[in-house]
Structure formats: structure tokens, C-alpha cells
Amino acid sequence: MRRKLPVAVLGATGMVGARFISLLSSHPWFELKAVAASERSRGQRLREAVRWLPPEGLPEEVLELEVRSPKPRELEEAEIVFSALPSEVAGSIEEEFAGEGFAVFSNASSHRMDEDVPILNPEVNADHASMVEVQRKRRKWEGFIVTNPNCTAAVLTLSLKPIQEEFGIRRVIVSTMQALSGAGYPGVSSLDILDNVIPYIRGEEEKVERETLKMMGAPFKPASFKISASCHRVPTLDGHLEAVFVELERQAKPSEVAEAMASFEGEPQRLKLPTAPKPPIVVRGEEDRPQPRLDRMEGRGMAVVVGRVREDRSLGGVKYLVLGHNTIRGAAGCSVLNAELFAALKLL
């Protein structure tokens, strides 16, 4: 059996951090050695500092870990760091770790649009992993930074990939219904969101549009199809639901598009990575699915669920609904899958 790689989680006390810990605490390839968060939490046991727990809870031995500062010298026993830091602080902290030789897998948006940093959603663009070689040379780093996409873009691009491969894409329009956990903990005030929908999420539409093009193009060359996003916060807990409208390059029946999605496999499935869902896209035939409460844990939260694939006459293509778990597929789970991809490709 191969040696387990030692890892640490930055931002371990938040919502994505807790998801990371849950995924890593029984991981076959990685061993969680340390956790870090802000000065507020430093020196406390994780059980005292953690602000939110996943429904399955966290293992006792992990809850006993002492929360440290997100500094390379405090986390020396780790080789990989998973970052769930807020983007306002993540940028320079992640650079410091990469400069000190750590492999950094980040959820924060700080470096996503840097030219030499891949945004990796491994079923969609595993070939972008090679960008870290350019990054290391340019920045003279021993380590590197790999980001994963914004949660909405993660779900969207996974559903679009088989369509792009088989039929080509001219234009995408997406309208979202995004869960509360997407805003972190404590998120949106209950008095603002109960009995309500907030029709604006700061910066979200721009992120979805540009990250989708970066991921769905070649390394260093974004895709050129047109994309328009409208993003909205709704009072569900977990699971982003997205209504997607696609103009195709080559005409296809909805049943052909549904079949292309249902039979799709990416590099994580081919490499049999431990966190890879099989299948990555579940296509449902019922007219009232997917639903967040019923479908968000498909593939242990790593699969996306597609439904209502039908013709779009106005665009000349198809429209459908896609649902994905925002803090698993859209955040911590995607980062863990990225690290597994790097381990399998011997890039660590």
C-alpha cells in the first residue's frame, strides 16, 4: 500500500472547511494532520472553534486537533494544503504556501483568473493540470496552486461537457436558484431570506461566465461560445439548481443530448479516483426532478443530477435543469478530486 500523503485544511472552521474534514478524515490516500483558521480560533480545539458541522458529524480525534495559524511553518508536517479561506485573505496566504513547496488546492476565487493557475473540474478539463508546470517556472515556486471553480460553474460545466464534446456549443444561458450554504456560515440573515428570493449575488454572474469559458477552453485559451448568467439566492440549505439553455453547433434531439450526458465519463472515472462519482451525471426522466432535497446527495454529493431535457426552439438547441451539491461537488469534494487526480498523474 502506498504511503498516505499528509494534508492540512486552511479555513477548517467554516462550512467548506468542515466538508473538507469530513471527506479527508477517512480518505484512502490522504491523512489529515492539521487544521488552521483565523486568529479568532487559534489555539482552540477544533470542537470549540468549528462554526458548523455536516449532518454526519466529524470524527472525535479530528475534533481534538488544535487550530493553528495558516502559516507554512505552523503546518510543516503537511505536503498538501486544502484552502477554504475567504478570498479577501486567501491570495497572499496561498502564494506563501506554494512558494514554500506545498501543493495548494483552493476553493477561493483569488487566483482563479490568474493566467497560469488552472481552474480544475477534473471531468471537464483534466488536461489543464499541465498548467502548473508553467506556473512553477514563471513564479519560481517549488509548490503550486490549483483552484476549483465557483460552485455554480462547477455544476454547470460538468453538465455542459458532454454537450460540448458531442454537439458543440454556440451559446449558453443559465438562471440559478442557489442554496444558502453557498454564502458560508452564518450566511444570509433569516429575516432576509425566509419567504423570499434575493435576485442578486455579488460578483457571482461574472465568475460563472468567465470561469466557465476558462475551463471549457484549451489551457491558456478560453472557449469562445457566448454565455449569460443570472444568479439568485433561494431558501434551500444545500444544492444549487440551475436552468440551462444551450444553442448547439450541430442539431440534436433532446433524447440524444440526454444520452450523451448519461453515458459521459471523465478522467476521474477512467482513473477510478476514490472520490469520483460513477456516473458523474445522473439523468432523471421524471418531470419533477431534480429537486434539492431529494437529489443533492447523489454520488455522495459528487454527481450532478439533470432533468427535463427538452427542445429549446427559440435558441435552436436544448434546455434542462441541473442540480449539484454546492459545498461538496462545488467546493471541497472538487478540490479533493483535483488532489487525487494530481496524485494519480504523479504530479505531487
Ligand X SMILES: NC(=O)c1ccc[n+]([C@@H]2O[C@H](COP(=O)([O-])OP(=O)(O)OC[C@H]3O[C@@H](n4cnc5c(N)ncnc54)[C@H](OP(=O)(O)O)[C@@H]3O)[C@@H](O)[C@H]2O)c1
Is 27 one of the catalytic residues? Answer: no
Q: What element of type H or E holds 333?
A: helix 333-344
The residues binding ligand X (CB under 6 A) are 11-17, 37-38, 40-41, 51, 70, 84-87, 89-90, 107-109, 150-151, 181-182, 184-185, 326-327, 330-331
Q: Which is nearer to ligand X, 108 or 172 (CB)?
A: 108
Q: Which is nearer to ligand X, 16 or 215 (CB)?
A: 16
Buried-exposed string 279-316: b where 16+ CB fall within 10 A, e elsewhere: bbbbbbeeeebbbbeebbbbbebbbbbbbbbeebeebe
Catalytic residue among 128, 240, 325, 334: 240
Q: Are 17 and 84 in contact (CB under 8 A)?
A: yes
Q: Which is nearer to ligand X, 17 or 290 (CB)?
A: 17
* Nearest to 244, CA basis, from 218, 225, 263: 225
Catalytic residue among 151, 231, 325, 334: 151
Q: Which is nearer to ligand X, 17 or 268 (CB)?
A: 17
Q: What element of type H or E holds 211?
A: helix 204-216
Q: What is the DSSP string of 113-127?
A: TSTTS-B--HHHHGG
Q: What value does the CA radius of gyration of the chain take, rounded to a whole number of Å?
A: 19
Q: Which is nearer to ligand X, 87 or 269 (CB)?
A: 87
Question: To the nearest whole angstrom, how small is the minimum distance from the Cβ of residue 208 to ligand X?
Answer: 12
Question: To the nearest whole angstrom, how small is the minimum distance from the Cβ of residue 236 to ligand X?
Answer: 12
Question: To the nearest whole angstrom, how small is the minimum distance from the Cβ of residue 256 to ligand X?
Answer: 32
Q: Which is nearer to ligand X, 185 or 245 (CB)?
A: 185
Question: To the nearest whole angstrom, how small is the minimum distance from the Cβ of residue 167 to ligand X?
Answer: 29
Q: Which is nearer to ligand X, 126 or 151 (CB)?
A: 151
Question: To the nearest whole angstrom, how small is the minimum distance from the Cβ of residue 227 to ligand X?
Answer: 19
Terminal-residue alpha carbon distance, the chain: 17
Question: To the nearest whole angstrom, how small is the minimum distance from the Cβ of residue 315 to ligand X?
Answer: 28
Question: To the nearest whole angstrom, how small is the minimum distance from the Cβ of residue 270 to ligand X?
Answer: 25
**In this structure, are strands 80-83 and 103-106 parallel, antiparallel, or unpaired?**
parallel
Is 240 one of the catalytic residues? Answer: yes
Q: What is the DSSP string of 167-205?
A: H-EEEEEEEEEB-GGGG-SS-S-HHHHTT--B---TTHH
* Residue corresponding to grid cell 465557483: 150
**In this structure, are strands 281-284 and 240-248 parallel, antiparallel, or unpaired?**
unpaired
By beta-carbon distance, which residue lies closest to ligand X?
A: 14
Q: Are 70 and 37 in contact (CB under 8 A)?
A: yes
SS3 of 273, please?
coil
* Nearest to 290, CA basis, from 229, 240, 233, 254: 240
* Edge-to-edge strands, sheet with 304-312: 226-230, 169-177, 240-248, 317-324, 304-312, 281-284
Q: Return the active site residues.
A: 151, 240
